[in-house]
């Protein structure tokens, strides 16, 4: 359940409370007088499946955004034993996507750090470092924003999310390339190192596993969009982007140009499959939520 709080004029909130209660859009509707004369605070419980319609009602009534609070609380004990509502709150999803669709400095810093860690993972053929880089990388946020923009037919949002994703992956690639070139110049690379002989050399070939893993990761990413598993699933999404981006950068940094096209193809296919699966999953979730309201 969601907890709704609305502050406004007493007369307006009285009418709103009656409408919410009579329509069944909320229960436990209550109004408490405010300290400001003629104003009050409305509180109510709102099912997640009805959250968007309730927010639309509040917008139509002209209630300012900063006078509305809709919070999600975890229920415990016997009260929390009821079946969880899987409905997406589309207004919240769009709000998150808007924040994620910008290449802010912190995002780029994390992608650069991921590039450093993943580059050493490729050079040392160290799986632990690769996993660490995937945990650091926040590229799943830009992927979420792009999928949400595509699913909602918001070209500006989808374009912003996709641009942010590309900038972030480019930062990872360039970081890995510059680091590898510097290590090579200083003769700090392992003796006889060749990225083509790395245990990760499979990142230069697109096969059925490439496509299926990326599709599965895209579905998981969207299913976890509003759950506590979101951060952990972000690592699963990054398994299809960060290793390939780092491998591409290391190959370029050491001058093994023949490996660059293959790694770039794997990265491009992975991103395309992530976006296709993520967008399709969101569309299905949105349809199921709408069908549940009907």
Q: What is the pLDDT of residues 69-126, one digit of tens each?
A: 988 876 665 555 555 555 567 777 888 788 888 889 999 999 999 999 999 999 998 9
> Residue 272 pLDDT > 80, yes or no?
yes
Q: What is the pLDDT of residue 237?
A: 84
Number of CB atoms found within 10 A of residue 253's CB: 25
Rounded mean pLDDT, 144-171: 95
Number of CB atoms found within 10 A of residue 78's CB: 7
Q: What is the pLDDT of residue 213?
A: 92
Sheet holding 39-46: strands in order across?
Answer: 27-33, 39-46, 2-9, 68-72
- Where are the domains positioned within the chain? 2-81, 90-293
The CATH number assigned to the domain with range 2-81 reads 3.30.70.60
Longest C-alpha distance within the chain, in Å? 79
More confident residue, 91 or 264: 264
Q: What is the pLDDT of residue 74?
A: 67
The rounded distance, in Å, linking the Cα atoms of 268 and 262 is 10
Rounded mean pLDDT, 179-187: 96
What's the topology of domain 90-293?
A: Glycerol uptake facilitator protein (1.20.1080)
DSSP E strands in the chain: the ranges are: 2-9, 27-33, 39-46, 68-72
Choose the most confident range, by mean pLDDT, from 23-32, 100-109, 167-176, 194-203. 167-176
- In the chain, what percentage of residues exceed pLDDT 70? 91
217, HSE (Cβ side, Cα atoms, 13 Å): 28
- What angle (nearest 5°) sits at the alpha carbon of residue 179, between those of residues 174 and 190? 135
Closest listed residue to residue 158, CA positions, set 170, 167, 148, 166 = 148
Q: What is the pLDDT of residues 234-261, one digit of tens each?
A: 777 888 899 999 999 999 999 999 999 9
> Residue 1 pLDDT > 70, yes or no?
yes
> Residue 4 pLDDT > 90, yes or no?
yes
> Residue 171 pLDDT > 90, yes or no?
yes
> Residue 129 pLDDT > 70, yes or no?
yes
């Amino acid at each position: 359940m969601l907890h709704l709080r609305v502050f406004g004029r007493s007369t307006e909130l009285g009418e709103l409370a009656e409408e919410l209660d009579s329509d069944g859009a909320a229960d436990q509707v209550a109004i408490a007088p405010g300290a400001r004369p003629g104003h009050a605070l409305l509180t109510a419980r709102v099912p997640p499946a009805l959250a968007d319609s309730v927010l639309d009602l509040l917008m139509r009534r002209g209630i300012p955004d900063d006078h509305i609070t809709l919070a999600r609380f975890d229920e415990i004990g016997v009260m929390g034993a009821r079946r969880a509502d899987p409905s997406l709150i589309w207004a919240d999803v769009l709000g998150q996507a808007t924040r994620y669709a910008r290449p802010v400095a912190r995002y780029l810093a994390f992608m650069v750090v991921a590039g450093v860690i993943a580059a050493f993972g490729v050079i040392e053929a160290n799986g632990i470092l690769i996993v660490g880089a995937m945990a650091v990388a926040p590229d799943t946020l830009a992927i979420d924003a792009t999928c949400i923009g595509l699913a909602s037919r918001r070209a500006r949002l989808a374009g912003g999310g996709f641009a942010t994703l590309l900038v972030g992956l480019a930062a990872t690639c360039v970081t890995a390339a510059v680091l590898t070139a510097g290590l090579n110049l200083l003769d700090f690379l392992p003796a006889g190192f060749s990225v083509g002989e790395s245990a990760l050399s499979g990142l230069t070939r697109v096969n059925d596993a490439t496509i299926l893993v990326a599709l599965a990761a895209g579905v998981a990413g969207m299913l976890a969009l509003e759950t506590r598993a979101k951060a952990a699933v972000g690592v699963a999404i990054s398994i299809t982007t960060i290793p390939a981006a780092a491998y591409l950068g290391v190959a370029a940094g050491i001058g093994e140009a023949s490996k660059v096209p293959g790694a770039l193809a794997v990265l491009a296919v992975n991103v395309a499959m992530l976006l296709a699966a993520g967008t399709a999953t969101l569309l299905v979730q949105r349809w199921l939520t709408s069908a549940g309201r009907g």
